[in-house]
Structure 1
Amino acid sequence: MNRRVLVTGAYRGIGAACALAFAATGARVALADIRRPDETAVAAAGAGAAETLALSCDVSDESAVLAVGDAVKERFGGLDVVVHCAGVIHEAPLLDTPVADFDRVIAINLRGSFLVGKMAIGLMEGTAEVPARVILIASDMAYYGRETFSPYVASKHGVLGLTRSWAKEFAPRILVNAICPGPIDTDMLGAANMSAEWRARELAIPLARFGQPEEIGELALFLAGSGGRYFTGQGVGSNGGSIMP
């Protein structure tokens, strides 16, 4: 896969797994994160990437996202694939959720998806025969909702809205899909973000385990590859059966 790929949220978790998955195909991979993307870039180079580019970026900041676009265009000349993984989660009862916390979640998860998607699509050419790919990260919660996670659920529901709208706007030269993970074994499921009660509830699914970030990386590769040629506007679940739409 000699393609030009941008992965956001690439420092750890799902983003790092996606970056390494594409690197292993020999892609040219740009890695953006608000924290130390250079560490993942070194790993991606070791995994077989044809070229890596590490970029610091707050995805909620338009100027920072545009600077990433400028750097990618200068180095790679354009983009064939973007996998937008940067995001945050927040658990609190509604009446204990300050507006500032709501604004932060929406800014990173939804505004960030809008800014990164808009920038990336502007760098893509793509054709009906060889379409470019936009892959956003939503959540299984976008479908079923969850008490005490309302800002997060709202943000990820909005990501599905962007996915469907862009899929219609840019077909057939750009295919736009969202991955909707269930519980994935990353820092996001840690005690700093989710209570022990909710971690236990996450395991009450048919496969009775947390998914691994590498499983999301494999799904991103599928959507970006020949097997994903007839997918657009979809929320694709890798969720252990947590939701069965």
Structure 2
Amino acid sequence: MTETTTPRVAIVTGGSGGIGRAVATRLAADGLHVLVHYSGGKDRADEVVEEITAAGGVASTAQADVADEIEVAAMFDAVEQRYGGLDVVVHTAGIMPLSPFLELKLDDLDRIHRTNIRGTFVVGQEGLRRMRAGGALINTSTSVTKLQQVGYSAYVASKGAVEAITLMLAREMRGRDITVNTVAPGPTDTPLFTDGKSQELIDRIAAQSPMERIGRPGDIAEVVAFLAGPGRWLNGQIIYANGGVI
């Protein structure tokens, strides 16, 4: 008699591009059924699903404002209805307006707070309420919380909040066999990082790493895949995935 196993299921927020896309395809390659979340990039999310299904995986899309608890609840309802449960939440969705502190528009600060902090709470609450034993919540921060580069004050403040709750959430999951970790990428070749930067500046940033390059989305996806799968003894940790910049 052949033993059947229930496929593990993941939601990847911000899965329509950049690091989120790499994470979604990597988890699908590991056999997870993946819901690819998007906010406004439906065409890009559809492309991710096409890529996954062409490789023999299972995936679909859902739209939601990550800071809207009603829309997020509907997205989690959808993943349970389609795939029968939930095991992994990878929260990569976020925004990064940059500005010197003294020139920062408070409306931009409010937008960053809403998406990056409130969104992390909304997605995390819904995910942890529904997640099966053996599950993993993986949030994203940034290595800039340690690098302390100028112009990133509002963004770093929002990601510092994400880091601050990581161990606390892991401890609150005591007895449920659920891990909570945060991955903090360094400079990575995505539009979020490269847009508005000259090639000369990108090359200068790349030279700071002992690896003499900036990260690739796949580099970050490998770390996430480990935390989502075999890395069960890593819990409550901030993992700075940056090639040795710090």
**Superposition TM-score, scaled by structure 2 size:** 0.90
1:111 equivalenced with 2:114 (yes/no): no
2:181 matched residue in structure 1: 177
Shift of 1:221: 0.8
Tell me which residue corresponds to 1:58: 65
* Alpha-carbon distance, 1:196 to partner: 6.8
Which residue does 1:164 correspond to in 2? 167
Aligned-pair CA distance for 1:41: 1.3
Unaligned 5+ runs, structure 2: 1-5
Q: Report the Cα distance in structure 1 between the residues aligned to 2:200 and 2:110, rounded to whole angstroms.
A: 25
Identity %: 38
Q: Tell me by how many angstroms 1:195 deviates.
A: 6.8
Counterparts of 1:73-92 in structure 2, within 5 Å, are 73-92=80-99
Distance 1:143 1:159, change over 3 A: same
Q: CA deviation at 1:176?
A: 0.3
- Following superposition, the deviation at residue 8 of structure 1 comes to 0.7
The question of whether the paired residues in 2 share the 8 Å contact of 1:189 and 1:199 is answered with no
Q: Distance between the aligned counterparts of 1:7 and 1:120, measured in 2?
A: 11
Q: Which residue is 1:8 aligned to?
A: 13
Q: Report Cα offsets for 1:152-207 as digits up to 9, x if no partner.
A: 10111111122121111003511000111001100011234x57786455322222
Query: Which runs of 5 or more residues in structure 1 are unaligned?
Result: none
The alignment partner of 1:241 has SS state of coil
Give the paired residue count.
236
Q: Aligned partner of 1:222: which letter?
A: F
Other structure's SS at 2:184 match: strand
Instruction: Give the 3-state SS of the residue equivalent to 2:34 in structure 1.
Output: strand
Aligned mate of 1:68, from 64, 68, 75: 75
Match of 1:214 among 204, 208, 218: 218
In structure 1, the residue matched to 2:46 is 38
User: What is the distance in 2 between the residues matched to 1:138 and 1:31?
Assistant: 20
1:138 is matched with 141
Give 3-state SS (helix, strand or coil) of 1:5's partner: strand
Q: CA deviation at 1:139?
A: 0.8
The CA distance in 1 between the partners of 2:106 and 2:67, in whole Å, is 17
Alignment counterpart, residue 124 of structure 1, candidates 110, 127, 131: 131
Residue 232 of structure 2 is matched in structure 1 by: 229
| Post-superposition offset of 1:105 | 1.2
* TM-score, normalised with respect to structure 1: 0.90
In structure 2, what residue type is equivalent to 1:73?
E
> How large is the RMSD of aligned CA atoms in angstroms?
1.8
SS of 1:179 mapped into structure 2: strand
